Amino acid sequence: TDFGYERVALGQKQGRVDAVFHSVARRYDLMNDLMSAGLHRAWKAQLVSMLRPSKGRPHRHLDVAGGTGDVAFRVLDAGGPRTAVTVLDINESMLRVGAERVPERFAGRIDFVTGNAESLPLPDATFDAYTIAFGIRNVPRIDLALAEARRVLKPGGRFLCLEFSQVDLPVLDRIYDAYSFHVIPRIGARVAGDAESYRYLVESIRKFPTRGAFAGLIEQAGFRHVTDRPLSGGIVAIHSGWKV
């Protein structure tokens, strides 16, 4: 049946994504720096600055597809002593690297949960904010992930997503294409010994919905005041929505 076929395809997609991140977990942060020429730091800083976790009040935060904890550590640095973050990822290798790297000052305010963004093993209406950075593109069923984001947020909670987007500047788009298809797989081959996986990740960026279409999906999931903001000429974008 069509359904059976679709299930196999979705399973293959997730299986492939899992294999990539198992193999690169140890070198993941280095790869990020190399491949984005350090830009991912500025993009994540922008994400956290939009969040503005309260210094005084409790802030319960969920970072999905949180990998090695990079976004979570930034949220903890930006927040106050009553900010606590749950890092969720489908991949235990990535989480293990993150757990080993937790700075002493965050002890007791961060936990790591293995789980799927499509069916979060977390209770309803628990979090003040939900972030997902360079993660939703890897999730086979985006609509399920968005519905789950809304479910676990408290009323008044914020959804923020940082993801690759479409470059809309005429010259930058050509440079970016050349970089994606030639440079990224080569760095992947040199540093992670795996050009094929990185080729796959570049393709997954091409297949991801446009900013407008993705904003529409976020609205369909029931979020309000949905906005999208391109950064660095559209290489990435931050989508925001509120659960009201």
Query: 19 among the known binding-site residues?
Result: no
- Report the distance separating Cα 195 and Cα 181, nearest Å: 10
Structure-block tokens of residue 209: 């919905």
Nearest residue (CB) to ligand SAM, 9 versus 244: 9
Instruction: Decide: is 116 part of the binding site for ligand SAM (CB under 6 A).
Output: yes
Query: 91 among the known binding-site residues?
Result: no
Label the pairing between strands 153-164 and 127-133: parallel
Query: 117 among the known binding-site residues?
Result: yes
Q: In the set 67, 185, 234, 241, which binds ligand SAM (CB under 6 A)?
A: 67
Instruction: Decide: is 129 part of the binding site for ligand SAM (CB under 6 A).
Output: no
Instruction: Decide: is 192 part of the binding site for ligand SAM (CB under 6 A).
Output: no
Could you give the residue ranges of the DSSP H alpha helices within the chain? Answer: 2-24, 28-35, 39-51, 70-78, 92-100, 142-152, 170-178, 184-187, 195-207, 211-220
Tokens 């979705």 sit on residue:
10
Q: In the set 48, 51, 97, 139, which binds ligand SAM (CB under 6 A)?
A: 139
* Cβ count within 10 A of residue 56: 9
- Report the distance separating Cα 126 and Cα 135, nearest Å: 21
Task: Kindly state the smallest distance separating residue 95's Cβ from ligand SAM, in Å.
Answer: 8
Contact stretch for ligand SAM (CB under 6 A) within 100-108, 132-140, 173-181, 207-215: 132-140
- Please return the burial class of 161, using the count of CB atoms within 10 Å of its CB with bins 0-12, 13-18 and 19+: buried
* Cβ count within 10 A of residue 236: 25
Query: 89 among the known binding-site residues?
Result: yes
Q: Which of residues 18-47 bind ligand SAM (CB under 6 A)?
A: 21, 32
Task: Kindly state the smallest distance separating residue 109's Cβ from ligand SAM, in Å.
Answer: 18
- Report the distance separating Cα 224 and Cα 78, nearest Å: 25
- Where does residue 52 fall: left (phi above 0), alpha (psi -120 to 50 degrees), or beta otherwise? left
Contact stretch for ligand SAM (CB under 6 A) within 2-10, 129-137, 205-213, 232-240: 129-137
Instruction: Decide: is 91 part of the binding site for ligand SAM (CB under 6 A).
Output: yes
Residues 6 or more apart from 52 whose CB is under 8 A from it?
78
Task: Kindly state the smallest distance separating residue 88's Cβ from ligand SAM, in Å.
Answer: 6
Instruction: Decide: is 17 part of the binding site for ligand SAM (CB under 6 A).
Output: yes
Instruction: Decide: is 236 part of the binding site for ligand SAM (CB under 6 A).
Output: no
**Binding-site ranges for ligand SAM (CB under 6 A):** 14, 17, 21, 32, 64-67, 70-71, 89-91, 94, 116-118, 133-135, 138-139
Q: From the annotation, which residues make up the binding site for S-adenosyl-L-methionine?
A: 68, 89, 116-117
